Amino acid sequence: MFSFIARRLGLLIPTFFGITLLTFALIRLIPGDPVEVMMGERRVDPEMHAQAMERLGLNKPLPEQYLDYIGKLAQGDLGESLRTRESVWNEFLTLFPATLELAIAALFFAGVIGLLAGVIAALKRGSLFDHGVMGISLAGYSMPIFWWGLILIMFFSVSLGWTPVSGRIDLLYDIEPKTGFMLIDTLLSDEEGAFKDAVMHLILPAIVLGTIPLAVIARMTRSSMLEVLREDYIRTARAKGLSPARVVFVHGLRNALIPVLTVFGLQVGTLLAGAVLTETIFSWPGIGKWLIEAIGARDYPVVQNGILLIACLVILVNFVVDILYGLANPRIRHQR
Amino acid sequence: MSLLQIKNLNVRFGDANAVPVVDGLDLSVSEGEVLAIVGESGSGKSVTMMALMGLIDAPGRISADALTFDGHNMLKLSGRQRRRVVGKDMAMVFQDPMTALNPSYTVGFQIEEVLRQHLGLRGKAARQRALELLRKVEIPAPESRLDAYPHQLSGGMSQRVAIAMAIAGEPKLLIADEPTTALDVTIQAQIMELLLNLQKEQNMALILITHDLAVVAETARRVCVMYAGQAVEIGQVPELFDVPAHPYSEALLAAIPEHSEGAERLATLPGIVPGRYDRPQGCLLSPRCPYVQDHCRQQRPPLDPQVHSLVRCFYPLNQEVA
Amino acid sequence: MTTPLAKPVSTPATAVDQSLLYPSPYKEFWQAFSHNKGAVAGLMFMSLIVFCALFAPWVAPHNPSEQYRDFLLTPPVWLEGGNWQFILGTDELGRDLLSRLIQGSRLSLLIGLSSVVISLIPGIFLGLLAGFFPRILGPSIMRLMDVMLALPSLLLAVAIVAILGPGLMNTVIAIAVVSLPSYVRLTRAAVMGELNRDYVTAARLAGASLPRLMFVTVLPNCMAPLIVQATLSFSSAILDAAALGFLGLGVQPPTPEWGTMLASARDYIERAWWVVSLPGLTILLSVLAINLMGDGLRDALDPKLKNAA
């Protein structure tokens, strides 16, 4: 098992350097003069221009600039935001829990409903329920989620008034950010009704963000389950006199989950991309909204290293999924 | 009172008009008896046993005048009641051991599961019993095999594990569906020997489905020959081999290489088993039978007692010996 | 799909039973495709969209940028206050929604089509190279693609637009770059599968040059998954373009791009649902139609892929 993890880890290193190259190139590819673009004004005073070039290290040869960049990254220095003068790393750390909370809620929503719908659809193959699940999931898969968010707001928030329109919590509450996770922080605080309010704020964004993963997971679970149910070992399990529930869930689902898990991992990328849109629609203070605002404000250090951090996140999650895949599938684990 | 009593079993896939895969089968097995069922692929051997185990699903329909096992009417049992019998008193070993074991669980888990389900054994007791079972099926170094995954075992080893799972509930009837077909020739004899030893030791009934007549001759006391979903001859082993009464039995025996020494070619029966759409009106063998008469083409013969055996033929062979 | 007319047969005795002949590949494909009802429905809807896009100036009842000041936020015709002049109503500036949606189909199809073409060609080329040179060049190309895949597609597109600045052309480039890795991977995988086949060895032995091997011998046998992928990335291109437009990073207003229209409609969510619903519904239906077609194509072209989600 250890060598399995080490092997996968080894594969990550070139990918990581590739990404640093990409984010490094990002700023150098901006058409026009980088200083002018960053300052948002033309004809900067030559002396100030030279100073800025010096400060940003843009006057050195490219290889040296890249080495400087890597050196800074190695020291954990991700630069500071041009707007807030706050370190990019700190901003990321403050905002990331919000995105993580949203993503976990969305995956939970998508995973529970998707698995259940997929399993039932497979068991009742060809039934009305099956066709319904397949139809809805195809629509969900094609969904422009920024529009879906607006429609849900229009219906649940504007027409019915059930859920709030934006943010993580009502301004009435003053919640001390202990963990950064609003659901946990509201529970820790003694403000009455704060937890419920936080949940109400979370529901719609989680549904919106979870829609595409839900569709993918439901479809994948169904097809994988159908395949597994045809296997000989399912017949063996039934011949043992096990209950149908045990046959389906212990013997069937366990094996059907292996490909679903991979898809789950792939959805993390989709999820982060979706977070950009979802956070924008619901004014959710997470890293997606942060990045878009930084782009709007030409806050290049944030754009550059925000993208680096998100890419690392995706790589990390895919790595964890890989390991889980190995745990779930003994045949992979024992591979040399 | 026999252990297993099957009367007029029909299995169809599709509506009531569909051609039956098992067609009016009568069969009985006594306690401790070894019965072989032979016939070519698609003759309904496995489906009969699947029907008995309750493993036939939705488009499949089962009907029978009687399907009694160990005093239970298997047709009337609820799912829950049947699951108390299936896997315990009546167990089955399948053809391909490499796919019959769940790849995600250890050997130990899959054996202990049966012990928990039917004997209520848990934890250490279950593990201890699983170990004994592995010893019983003669698996070397059983301690280390308990935590092995199926993909780490050879085919013969997997089949031994499957047998261990099947005998875990100390069944009164073990059904072995071509248990050696998927294995190497050298392993086949070992597995057969193991099955027969276990059968004697535990005094359980054994239904052996096979198309290997050599195996039948060595192992079974009684044999049922099936053709196109029907039993065509049921008789004692030495007699049926020496003086087959049904033309199909005769043809099967003639196709064994050992029986046809000196012949240039193995004897074959021309034609193929009738399919869904070309079932003859009369005897199902009539298009292929070398002894066919006009009468055979019009009417289906019943399964009647003849000199040595029950035979489904208007003109049984080898009757003069009596 | 025209079946060539059978030549008059001079000797009836040699007439061949038509059912015994192999059907032409097109006919066979069409039979498999038309068997899938969803795919046919998708094809019909897409034909409608393509028709609208091609003949937009004649189909659209109004000029999409003409502002009817007296008809701000007119509801669709079936609602109270609706007006036959504006069948789907008007937006906040009094522009006809239907005309803008029709005009928008031009943009969406243009973006989808051009980004697919722009990424398909280098994608296939890189994939072929990666497949044919498995020692150094191949792995380096694949590592590069891994890097691109590490970023979620929309985020990568956002990053590219952030560098190049918003606009139609940059949207196309960003989306093309984003869909590049999947073509490269797919082509390489297909090429690796084909290279071991005997017909490739035979062509090699016959002295086929490398370009000939690549483009004439191997490539045609790798096309099925690529066609399917092209369809699917066409739909995700439309989706991503709309998302970029919605974020204000894509096509800029007042151009009637579907996503851009949604972005400006957000403020009217409480007053004029049609301004919000209709552009999104159009996106959803188009993407759905293309995905349905893609499913049908996949089943018809490559039955092996049927179970891949």
Nearest residue, CB atoms, B87 vs list A241, A328, A329: A241
**Residues A114 and A260 grouped into a single domain:** yes
What's the CATH number where C279 sits? 1.10.3720.10
Compare all CA atoms of chain A with the CA of B49 and give the residue at the minimum distance: A239
In a domain, A90, yes or no: no
**Residues A233 and A306 grouped into a single domain:** yes
Nearest residue, CB atoms, C309 vs list A30, A263, A269: A263
Check CB contact under 8 Å for B101 and A251.
Answer: no
Token code pair at residue C104 = 């928008």
DSSP state of B150: G
A5 touches chain C (CB under 8 A): no
Q: Which of A28, A143, A150, A166 to mutate to test the interface with C (most CBs of C within 10 A)?
A: A150
Check CB contact under 8 Å for A150 and C280.
Answer: yes
What is the DSSP secondary-structure string of B175-227? EEESTTTTS-HHHHHHHHHHHHHHHHHHT-EEEEEES-HHHHHHH-SEEEEEE
Burial zone of B138 (CB within 10 Å; 0-12 exposed, 13-18 middle, 19+ buried): middle
Check CB contact under 8 Å for C307 and A276.
Answer: no
In a domain, C112, yes or no: yes
In a domain, C187, yes or no: yes
C167 touches chain A (CB under 8 A): no
In a domain, A69, yes or no: yes
A255 touches chain B (CB under 8 A): yes
Phi, psi (rounded to 5 degrees) for B173: -135, 125
**Residues A65 and A146 grouped into a single domain:** no
**Residues A192 and A308 grouped into a single domain:** yes
**Residues A33 and A146 grouped into a single domain:** no
What single-letter amino acid sits at A189? S
B40 versus A329: the higher-pLDDT residue is B40
Q: Which of A127, A229, A236, A324 to mutate to test the interface with B (most CBs of B within 10 A)?
A: A236
What is the DSSP secondary-structure string of chain C? --PPPPPPPS-GGGPPPGGGSPPPHHHHHHHHHHT-HHHHHHHHHHHHHHHHHHTHHHH-SS-TT---GGGTTPPPTTSTT-BTTBTT-B-TT--BHHHHHHHHHHHHHHHHHHHHHHHHHHHHHHHHHHHH-TTTHHHHHHHHHHHHHHS-HHHHHHHHHHHH-SSHHHHHHHHHHHHHHHHHHHHHHHHHHHHTSHHHHHHHHTT--HHIIIIIIIGGGGHHHHHHHHHHHHHHHHHHHHHHHHTTSSSPTTS--HHHHHHHHGGGTTT-HHHHHHHHHHHHHHHHHHHHHHHHHHHHH-GGGGG--
Q: Which of C145, C160, C163, C262 to mutate to test the interface with A (most CBs of A within 10 A)?
A: C163
Distance from CA of C287 to the nearest CA of A (A): 6
In a domain, C161, yes or no: yes
User: Cα(B87)–Cα(C97) distance, rounded to whole angstroms?
Assistant: 67
Residues 27-56 of chain C with CB under 8 A from chain A are 38
Contact C274, C90 (CB under 8 A): no
**Residues A169 and A52 grouped into a single domain:** no
In a domain, C69, yes or no: no
pTM: 0.81
Compare all CA atoms of chain A with the CA of B100 and give the residue at the minimum distance: A233
Using 70 as the pLDDT threshold, list the residues of chain A that sit under it: 1, 31-34, 37-43, 331-336
Q: pLDDT category, B163, cuts 50, 70, 90? A: very high
**Residues A147 and A227 grouped into a single domain:** yes
Residue A42: the pLDDT is 65
Residue B263: the pLDDT is 58
Residue C308: the pLDDT is 41
What single-letter amino acid sits at A168? R
Q: Which chain A residues contact residue C144 at CB under 8 A?
A: 18
What average pLDDT does range B149-155 have in this prediction? 89
Q: Which chain B residues contact residue A328 at CB under 8 A?
A: 104
A89 touches chain C (CB under 8 A): no
In a domain, A83, yes or no: no
What's the CATH number where A103 sits? 1.10.3720.10
Residue A321: the pLDDT is 79
Q: What is the dihedral of CA B232, B234, B239, B242, to 10 degrees?
A: 30
**Residues A150 and A36 grouped into a single domain:** no
Distance from CA of B178 to the nearest CA of A (A): 14
Helices (H), chain B: 45-53, 79-85, 97-100, 107-114, 123-136, 142-145, 155-167, 185-202, 213-219, 237-242, 247-254, 294-298
Q: pLDDT category, B174, cuts 50, 70, 90? A: very high
Distance from CA of A8 to the nearest CA of B (A): 22
**Residues A135 and A224 grouped into a single domain:** yes
Q: Which of C246, C262, C283 to mutate to test the interface with A (most CBs of A within 10 A)?
A: C246
Q: Tokens 């790798």 correspond to what residue?
A: C222
Q: Which of C36, C153, C155 to mutate to test the interface with A (most CBs of A within 10 A)?
A: C155
Closest CA to C142 of C131, C151, C154, C153: C131
pLDDT of B268 > 60? The answer is yes
- Does chain B touch chain C (at least 3 C-beta pairs within 8 Å)? no
**Residues A52 and A106 grouped into a single domain:** no
Check CB contact under 8 Å for A235 and B100.
Answer: yes
Residues 220-259 of chain A with CB under 8 A from chain C are 220, 223, 227
Residues 232-291 of chain C with CB under 8 A from chain A are 235, 239, 242-243, 246-249, 259, 262, 265-266, 269-270, 273, 276-277, 279-281, 283-284, 287-288, 291
Contact A26, A303 (CB under 8 A): yes
Contact B308, B243 (CB under 8 A): yes
The topology under which CATH files domain B34-44+80-89+171-311 is Rossmann fold (3.40.50)
Residue C309: the pLDDT is 35
**Residues A212 and A302 grouped into a single domain:** yes
pLDDT of B310 > 70? The answer is yes
DSSP bridge partners of B90: B86, B173
Residue A119: the pLDDT is 93
Contact C217, C199 (CB under 8 A): yes
Q: Which chain A residues contact residue B152 at CB under 8 A?
A: 334
In a domain, C10, yes or no: no
A196 touches chain B (CB under 8 A): no
In a domain, A174, yes or no: yes
Q: What are the CA-CA distances from residue C33 to residues B265, C40, C50 (Å)?
A: 50, 7, 20
What average pLDDT does range B49-57 have in this prediction? 87
From first to last of its 309 residues, chain C has per-residue pLDDT tens of 444 444 444 444 455 555 566 667 788 788 878 888 888 999 999 999 899 888 888 877 888 877 877 777 777 877 777 777 777 878 777 788 888 888 888 888 999 999 999 999 999 999 999 989 988 898 888 888 888 877 778 888 888 887 788 888 888 998 999 889 989 988 998 888 888 888 888 988 888 888 888 888 888 888 888 888 888 889 989 998 999 988 888 888 788 888 888 888 878 877 778 888 888 899 999 999 999 988 888 888 765 544 443
Range of the domain at C196: 36-63+95-292
Q: Provide the domain count of chain C.
A: 1
Q: Which chain C residues contact residue A280 at CB under 8 A?
A: 246-247
In a domain, A87, yes or no: no
A1 touches chain C (CB under 8 A): no
Residue A303: the pLDDT is 85
Check CB contact under 8 Å for B88 and A235.
Answer: no
**Residues A270 and A206 grouped into a single domain:** yes
Q: What is the dihedral of CA A113, A118, A119, A124, to 10 degrees?
A: 120
Q: What are the CA-CA distances from residue B118 to residues B88, B244, C239 (Å)?
A: 6, 42, 55
Q: For the segment B240-266, what is each residue's pLDDT rounded down to a tens digit?
A: 888 888 888 888 888 777 665 665 666
Chains contacting chain B through 3 or more C-beta pairs under 8 A: A
The DSSP H or E segment spanning B20 is strand B20-29
Range of the domain at A325: 95-332
Residue A120: the pLDDT is 93
Token code pair at residue A307 = 């993208």
Compare all CA atoms of chain A with the CA of B52 and give the residue at the minimum distance: A239
Domain boundary pick from A75, A106, A133: A75
ipTM of the complex: 0.86
Residue C19: the pLDDT is 57
